[in-house]
Structure 1
C-alpha cells in the first residue's frame, strides 16, 4: 500500500513539472526583427519538373510494314537491358516475344508445303493428260493414213463405194484437225494452270522468306553508342520488360543526346499568364541540389491539360538548359525557378511581416503599427512602395501585446 502511494505521488509531480514548463514556454514568444532591404527584386514562378534530352535517337523494333503485312499489330518486350544502361553501337538491347510470329511462320510453312505438293501434282496431271492427247493424235494420224489408202484403192470400186470412203476420209481429216486444235488448247490450259500454281507457290515462299527475315529482327541492337532510356507510354509509364509496343508507334527504347538537356515542367493556370518564351530560369535537381543551371523558356503550351488524379489544369513548359554536365540524366526531378520579372532599386521585406486590417496594410515596428503601401511579391518577399526606409527594422511576427499598438497612417485622416 505504501509503495502504491509513492508511485501515484511521483506521477503527480511529473505531470506538474510538464504543465509548468509547457506553460512557461508558451508564455514566452520569440521576438525577431528583420531589416528593410533595398536592391534588385526578382519575381519568379517555381515548379517541379523532369529532365529530358533535347534530341534523341529512337531504337525501333522490327520493320513496321513487314509487321503489318504479317498482321501483327503489337508485340511484347520479352527482355531488355536495365534503364540507363550505357551501350556501344551494335550491343544487344532487347529481345521481343516471337510467339505470335512463330505461329504465323509455322502456318506459312504448311501452306508452302501444300502448294509444293499441288505444283507437283499439277505437273504430273498435265504430263499424263498431254501424253494421252499426243498418243490419240498419233493413232488418229495412223487411221487417217489408212483412210487415204482405202480411198486410193477404191478407184476400182463402184461410185457409191468410192463416195463412201471419201466421206470417211473427210470425216477422219476433220476429226484429226479438231484433235490437233484441242491439243493446242489443252497445252495452253496446262501451261496456264502451271503458271497459276507456280505463282501461288512463289507468293507463299516469298511470304515465308519475309516472315523468316522478320523473325531475325526480333532481337534489337543499339544503332549507336549511348545510354538506353525506356520509352514512356501515353500514361507516362516506362515500357520495360513485359510492355506491349504498337506497330504504329514502333519504338522499343531511346538513346538520348545527353549533351543538350531540357527541363519539362508544368505551370498551373493561375501562374501561366506570367510565363513567356525567352524568360530566364534557374534549374537544379533533387539528386544534386547544390548545382545550379541556367536556362531559358523555349516553349509554353497554349492549351492546358488535366493532371492525373487532380482537378487542376496545368500548361506544359519547356526550359532549355545552357551548357551541359555529365551528372545530368534523363528523368531526374528538377526544381525550376522561372524569372518572370526583375525590378531594380526597390525596398522589400518578408511577406510574413505584412498584416492587413480591412483595406490597410501595416507592419509592426518599435511601439506602433506602421501603415505601408505594398507592391509586387514573390514566394518570400514583398515590395514596400511607401511607409518604410532602408535599414529600418520590422517585426517578423507580432510581439507580445502588439495588437494594442496604435496605427501610424501614411496620411492624416
Structure 2
C-alpha cells in the first residue's frame, strides 16, 4: 500500500517530462519565426565568383608572320603541362609543320624552275651578244675592204671611182646600224637579266622567309616563369589540338604572380551598384581559411553574353591587395563587393517582407500577444536583408514567415506625416 503514492508521483513526473518534450519543438519553432528589427551599419554587398589571373604577364607566342606566307591556322601538336616552371629558352610547344612543310617544298620547286630560267636567259643573251659582236667585226672588215678598193680605183674611170665610193658609204652605214643594233640588244639583255634576276631574288627571299618562320614552329620561353594556358574567345584553354591564328598567335603566358586580378562577371541588374575603387572581400575556394581584400579597378561599359548563359553580364576586374605565394592563375574566388555602407539604419531579413500588388510591401509585426499587418517602405537591399525607411522602430519584432490566421488581418497603411521616430533618417552613405 505504501508504494502506491510513489508509483503515482513517478507517473505524474513522467507525464510532465513527455509533455515538455512534445511541446518544446513547436514552441521553439514559433520563437525562431520572430526576429527583432536591427539597427546599425548596413552593407550593400554584391556577391560574384571570379577567377584569378596575373595583372601582368609575358605572352608566349607562335610565329607572328603566318599571314605573310598565307597560313591562317596552325594546330598545336605538343605543349608542356600547365603549371610547368620554365627558364628562359626552355621548350614550350611545337606547332604542326604539315602546311609550312608543303609550302616550303612548293617554293623550293619554284625556285629551281626560276634558277633554270635564269641560267637559260643568261646563256641566250650571251650567245645573242656574241653573234652581234662577230657581225660588228665582219662589218668593220668589210669597210676596210671597200676602202682599199676605193684607193686602188683612183686611176680608174670616174664611174668606177664613184661606184667604189658608194660601196664604202654602204659598208660604213651597215657598220653603224650594226653598232646601234648591238647597243639595243645589249640593253635588252640587261633588262631581261634584271627581270629574271629579280624574280630569282624574290623567290629566294620567300623561301628564306618560310624557312625562318618554320624555325619559329618550335616555341621556347621568352622569360622564366610558370606556364599558364591561354584562353580562347569562348573561355576554353588552348591545349594540344587547338589552333593559333596570325591575329592571335598566343599559345600560353608567363604570369607575374606578385600582383593578381580576380576577373568576375556581374549581372545587368547589379552592375549599376558597382564602381571603381570599391572595397572587396575575397575568399579562395581552394583555401577557405584565407581571407583577402581587394578593390575594383575596372568596370566594363558594355555587357556581353557568356557561353552557356542567356543573361547579359558585365566584366569587373578586382585587384588583390595582398601578395601570397599560394595564389595561382585560374583559382576560383568568392568576391563580396561592398557597393555601399549605410550607418545607423533599421533593417530586417528579406524573408520578413511580403508583397501586396506591385508596389506595396508589408511585414507581420508582433504587437503584444498578437500581431499586425504593417506596411513598410524599404530602401537598399543586399543578399539577405533590406533597409526599412518607414513603418518600423528598433524595438519592433517581425515574423520571418506568414503566421497562422494572419490572412484576415487588416493592412495598416503608412500615413503621410508619420512620426520621425518611425522613419529611418540616418541614411549616411559611405563608400
Q: Place the TM-score, normalised by the shorter chain, in its bin.
A: 0.7 to 0.9
Evaluate the alpha carbon distance shift between residue 159 and residue 290 of structure 1 in structure 2; reply closer, same or farther with a 3 A threshold.
Answer: same
Pair 1:101 & 2:103 matched: no
Q: 1:2-401 residue pairs with structure 2 within 5 A?
A: 31=29, 32-33=31-32, 36=36, 37-64=38-65, 67-353=66-352, 360-364=362-366, 367-369=369-371, 373=376, 375=378, 376-383=380-387, 387=392, 389=394
Q: Distance in 1 between matches of 2:27 and 2:116?
A: 100
**What is the aligned partner in structure 2 of residue 6 from structure 1?**
none
Offset at residue 30 of structure 1 (A): 5.3
| RMSD of equivalent CA atoms | 3.1
Structure ranking higher on relative contact order (CA contacts 8 Å, 6+ apart): 1
Evaluate the alpha carbon distance shift between residue 388 and residue 136 of structure 1 in structure 2; reply closer, same or farther with a 3 A threshold.
Answer: closer
Offset at residue 344 of structure 1 (A): 2.7
Q: Distance in 1 between matches of 2:407 and 2:251?
A: 70
Evaluate the alpha carbon distance shift between residue 349 and residue 411 of structure 1 in structure 2; reply closer, same or farther with a 3 A threshold.
Answer: closer
Secondary structure of the residue aligned to 1:249 is coil
Q: Distance in 1 between matches of 2:46 and 2:286?
A: 21
Q: TM-score scaled to structure 2, two decimals? A: 0.79
Q: Distance in 1 between matches of 2:414 and 2:60?
A: 71
On the 8 A contact 2:353/2:361 being kept in 1, the answer is: no
Q: Distance in 2 between matches of 1:71 and 1:174?
A: 57
Q: Distance in 1 between matches of 2:407 and 2:121?
A: 113
On the 8 A contact 1:258/1:329 being kept in 2, the answer is: yes
Segments of 5+ residues of structure 2 without an aligned counterpart are 1-21, 416-431
Q: Distance in 2 between matches of 1:155 and 1:354?
A: 140
Runs of 4+ in 1 over 3 A off after TM superposition: 27-30, 32-39, 307-311, 345-360, 363-367, 370-377, 381-390, 392-399, 401-412
* Structure 1, 302-311 or 283-292: larger mean CA deviation: 302-311
Q: Distance in 1 between matches of 2:256 and 2:155?
A: 109
Q: TM-score scaled to structure 1, two decimals? A: 0.82
Q: Deviations over 1:41-72 (max 9, x none)?
A: 222111122222222222222133xx222122
Offset at residue 38 of structure 1 (A): 4.5
On the 8 A contact 1:387/1:410 being kept in 2, the answer is: no
Offset at residue 398 of structure 1 (A): 6.6
Q: Distance in 2 between matches of 1:51 and 1:243?
A: 23
Offset at residue 367 of structure 1 (A): 3.5
Count of matched residue positions in the alignment of Structure 1 and Structure 2 = 384
Offset at residue 321 of structure 1 (A): 1.4
On the 8 A contact 1:355/1:363 being kept in 2, the answer is: no
Secondary structure of the residue aligned to 2:289 is coil
Evaluate the alpha carbon distance shift between residue 384 and residue 178 of structure 1 in structure 2; reply closer, same or farther with a 3 A threshold.
Answer: closer
Evaluate the alpha carbon distance shift between residue 384 and residue 197 of structure 1 in structure 2; reply closer, same or farther with a 3 A threshold.
Answer: closer
Offset at residue 138 of structure 1 (A): 2.1
Secondary structure of the residue aligned to 1:326 is coil
Offset at residue 77 of structure 1 (A): 1.6
Evaluate the alpha carbon distance shift between residue 365 and residue 96 of structure 1 in structure 2; reply closer, same or farther with a 3 A threshold.
Answer: farther
Q: Distance in 2 between matches of 1:171 and 1:351?
A: 120
* Structure 1, 300-309 or 240-249: larger mean CA deviation: 300-309
Secondary structure of the residue aligned to 1:83 is coil
Evaluate the alpha carbon distance shift between residue 58 and residue 139 of structure 1 in structure 2; reply closer, same or farther with a 3 A threshold.
Answer: same
On the 8 A contact 2:234/2:307 being kept in 1, the answer is: no
Offset at residue 28 of structure 1 (A): 5.5
Secondary structure of the residue aligned to 2:293 is strand
Q: Deviations over 1:121-171 (max 9, x none)?
A: 122222222222222222222222222222122123222222222211221
Q: Distance in 1 between matches of 2:259 and 2:114?
A: 57
Secondary structure of the residue aligned to 2:288 is coil
Q: Distance in 2 between matches of 1:135 and 1:396?
A: 118
